[in-house]
Structure 1
Amino acid sequence: MQESRYVHRLTVSSPTLLPATTTNVYVITHHGEAIIIDAGYEQEDSTKEIISYIESMGQPQVKAIILTHYHRDHSPGAKALSDHFQCPIWAHAQEVENIHREISPYKVEKALTEGDRIEIGGVPIFVLHTPGHTKGHISLWMEEEKILFVGDNAAGEGSVWIGPPDGDLTHYLQSLQRLKSFHAERLAPGHGHMIHDPDACIDFLITRRLERESQILKLLQSSPLSVSQLVDLIYRDQIHPSVRWAAERTIEGHIMKLLNERRVQIASADRTPKYALSSSLTT
């Protein structure tokens, strides 16, 4: 689907988290050149679909496949695409090791860093390091069309999970505030439809995280609780069992942030730790 003068969005089937069932693969093309942003899961039908779509555009020269982050609903498809288009795979320096695990024996040929400029037929695209979902997560800013490609910083429906092993909620909230400062007209997320009111979407994501944080602190006023107990109280059987792990990691991400801020402390360090309000908040 063509979303703008230069941007095309392909939705490919992916084993991602409900309610999403697909991953967005973006193709930016101009004057016979193209880049692919994210590559989806490694499955033959999806690869054929992407290749067929790009070739129907006049077979532009694909300069690179850029991966926003390493998760397997975004990165392994790069192997077959790199083979077909004979193009390199690029990603942020802090994401390279994890991506190599997902695409082995293929390698990231260029490690991107904050501020790198990529030109597609003369149209500049800038690399933004936006950690939070993962340590080396990147977004891409296409100023000419005021589009931010945000990977899993936002979704066309709902929100994204932020938590261990490499998610950081403090960094995520900082990245969201930074993305808002670009005054984009559209967000191109890793899952779901294009977002046409970026400020409202980002404000929603920030507010949702802060409300969840307040909810956790309120629950801990009564007694120490484990992450699993917090999930039971917060979600109350409203989540599908297949994504409970993501809910637990998200709550754990909140707890890690609150521990770092010394607003919460470990109440018992058994095999299943429990957490309580820090003494400074209860006195």
Structure 2
Amino acid sequence: MDDDFDPRAGVAEAIAPGLRRVLAPNPSPMTWRGTNTYLLGRGQVTVIDPGPDDPAHLAALLLALEGEAVSHVVVTHSHLDHSPLAARLARQTGAEVWAYGNALAGRSDVMRALVAGGYDGGGEGVDLAFAPDRLVADGDVIATPAGDLRVLHTPGHMGNHICLRWGDAVFSGDLVMGWATSLVSPPDGDISDFLASCAKVRAEGAAVLYPGHGAPVTDPAARIDWLIAHRMERRAQVLAALDVPRDVEALTAAIYTDVAPALWPIAARNVFAQLVELVGAGLVGAAPDLSPGAKFHKM
């Protein structure tokens, strides 16, 4: 975590040639200092991740954009801290909203099967009202006045999550953040997808990542390697803690001894995501069904 990252909310800050960042006023244990909204270009501007539906943040963006036009509004994923302001900003500026799809788009087969089997959990912080004007797919190019944005479909944190390649940089949304690991909460998140998406972004060989939260990541390969290693370590801890059958709550308490108990409900979502993957791999069983309240055991 970069504790030195503490920009002032609502102030447009130039962070690279042709790129400004405006921090939303939504700090929390899940968002750290707040959501990074990016303004790409000058004169004709592309807005990436407008942020929460907050009048103060909208006013800050419109002030930063005074005298300029908005050509595109692009959303990396539809969580409530990233996408809700898109509709209002689009109405104010006349721009269209570009994204992979609505809140249910891009879910893995495993997660669709989990929901079909009756699982009704998850859904934390999801913007169910999100409805983009333009849909993009992996490999598509969004031609903006400030240069092309190549779309990388990167599910894992959320099924409709995308990253955007711009020159030698990648806008990494919440897949790779500048302060912590990402929440992976089924059925919106999928550990297998998350690891594959991390590897996909690493293979881009970008010089810098501009994340949804936190400071720019200036050593992408090292950061992504750490994220993958961290998830694999947690996976090993889950398996080790299943020396006796346990439910998600008990596993979380046994594994997350380095995390404040107040954050255990969040950590439990990541534990359940690990268990879904382990059950699918045939390494763990669940009784009576695959749910957080089940008793999990090694196979």
Aligned counterpart, 2:33: 21
Give the distance between the partners of 1:122 and 1:10, measured in 2 at CA: 18
Q: 1:96 to 1:33 in 2, by over 3 A?
A: farther
1:91·1:112 contact (CA, 8 Å) conserved in 2? yes
1:187·1:196 contact (CA, 8 Å) conserved in 2? yes
Q: Does 1:248 align with 2:272?
A: no
Q: Does 1:168 align with 2:190?
A: yes
Aligned counterpart, 1:152: 174
Q: Does 1:102 align with 2:126?
A: no
Q: 1:73 to 1:122 in 2, by over 3 A?
A: closer
Q: Does 1:72 align with 2:80?
A: yes
Aligned counterpart, 1:129: 153
Offset at residue 60 of structure 1 (A): 2.8
Aligned counterpart, 1:142: 166
Structure 2 unmatched ranges of 5 or more: 1-12, 106-122
Give the distance between the partners of 1:87 and 1:238, measured in 2 at CA: 42
1:167·1:253 contact (CA, 8 Å) conserved in 2? yes
Instruction: State the TM-score, normalizing by the size of structure 2.
Output: 0.83
Structure 1 unmatched ranges of 5 or more: 279-283
Offset at residue 272 of structure 1 (A): 2.3
1:94·1:135 contact (CA, 8 Å) conserved in 2? no
Offset at residue 51 of structure 1 (A): 1.2
Alpha-carbon deviations, 1:71-100, whole Å to 9, x = none? 001111112211221111111036477987
1:178 to 200, 205, 212: 200
Offset at residue 255 of structure 1 (A): 0.3
Superposed, 1:110-125 pairs within 5 Å as: 110-121=134-145, 123-125=147-149
SS of the residue aligned with 1:125?
A: strand
2:102·2:128 contact (CA, 8 Å) conserved in 1? no
2:210·2:217 contact (CA, 8 Å) conserved in 1? yes
Tell me which amino acid in the other structure corresponds to 1:275. F
Offset at residue 239 of structure 1 (A): 2.4
Aligned-pair Cα RMSD in Å: 2.1
Give the distance between the partners of 1:226 and 1:149, measured in 2 at CA: 37
Aligned length: 267
Give the distance between the partners of 1:18 and 1:94, measured in 2 at CA: 22
Offset at residue 237 of structure 1 (A): 7.3
Alpha-carbon deviations, 1:202-242, whole Å to 9, x = none? 0110000000000111111x20110000111112373252x
Q: Kindly, what percent of the aligned residue pairs are identical?
A: 29
1:96·1:111 contact (CA, 8 Å) conserved in 2? no
Aligned counterpart, 1:87: 95
Q: Does 1:60 align with 2:76?
A: no
2:255 to 234, 239, 247: 234
Give the distance between the partners of 2:261 and 2:62, measured in 1 at CA: 34
1:5 to 1, 13, 17: 17
Structure with the higher fraction of residues in helix conformation: 1
Q: Does 1:48 align with 2:70?
A: no
Tell me which amino acid in the other structure corresponds to 2:95. C
Tell me which amino acid in the other structure corresponds to 1:194. P
Q: 1:82 to 1:62 in 2, by over 3 A?
A: same
